[in-house]
Structures are given as structure tokens and as C-alpha cells.
Amino acid sequence: MLLFVYGILRDPELLAAVLDRPLRADQVLAAVAPGYRATYAPNRLTPALVRAPGGAAEGLVLLGLSAFEHDLIDALADSASRRMVVPVMIGEELHEALAHLPAGPTVPGDPWSLTHWQAVHKAAALPGEIARAAEMRQRLIAIRPH
């Protein structure tokens, strides 16, 4: 199934570090989730994807991920989120994709911007996010059946 990312995993440097490999250009497709928007969540620098009639959350659809990479992204997602199917538009085509949404009610905050995150928070956040992904990767390798 397709995976829709709308937050910090849209940053190519962070995505490559999390996956421990770059994705090819044909595996990363610009997409929008109609009826949703990415907003700041309380006490977080990463966004929440919330229903917003008339909205359209910008994001990427990732193709060619392994089952392990899906598990890794799930493990790195906020513990207060769950993976759900959302509609996404890739160009003019409507698809269904998995995305991480808040597990409970969320009060939408201000619109979240990748450009703002990259300009203001990326430099400080990147080393910690990379270390957290590497640690989680090792944990998953240790517990996954071979």
C-alpha cells in the first residue's frame, strides 16, 4: 500500500537518514490529501494530520518501501497516532494511502509548514531524529524474525 507522509519525513535528508538509503525520484511522488490539513499539535514540532473540509494537506507518497521500512516508520511515529487510510491525489488521480493520524481528538492548531521547520528547527532536530531512527532500526532488527 502507498504511504503518505506530510511532516518532517518530507525532508529528503531526513527521509534518507531514517531509511538508511535514498529513495529514487520515481519512488517519491508529490501528493495532497484532500479534506485534511497538517497543523501544529500541542507541544510538538511535528504536525498532526486533521480533517479539514475544503483543505488539502501537501505531502509525498512513498513507493517501494520494504515491510521493515514500513515497520520502522510506524515505530518512529508519535505514540498518540495510528495508521489509517486516507484519500490522496497524485496529479489528477485519486488513490488511497496509509498515513499516521492522531489516535484521539485533536484541536487543530496553526498550519504546519515544512519550509518553516527546515529554516527554523531542522538544524537542531536533525541529529536527534537521525539517532532516534538508528536506535529504532537496531531495536527492530533485534526483534524481527529472520
Q: Hey, what amino acid is at 11? A: D
* Confidence band, pLDDT 50/70/90 cuts, at residue 1: confident
Give the per-residue pLDDT at 78.
79
Task: State the total domains in the chain.
Answer: 1
17-39 pLDDT, tens digit each: 999 999 999 999 999 999 999 99
pTM above 0.75, yes or no: yes
Distant-in-sequence, close-in-space partners of 143: CB < 8 Å, separation ≥ 6:
none
**Residue 145 DSSP code:** -
Give the per-residue pLDDT at 144.
80
The CATH number linked to 101 is 3.10.490.10
Instruction: Give the three-class secondary structure for 6.
Output: coil
* Confidence band, pLDDT 50/70/90 cuts, at residue 106: confident
- The answer to whether residue 45 scores a pLDDT higher than 90 is no
Q: Which domain holds residue 24?
A: 2-143
51-74 pLDDT, tens digit each: 999 999 999 999 999 999 999 999
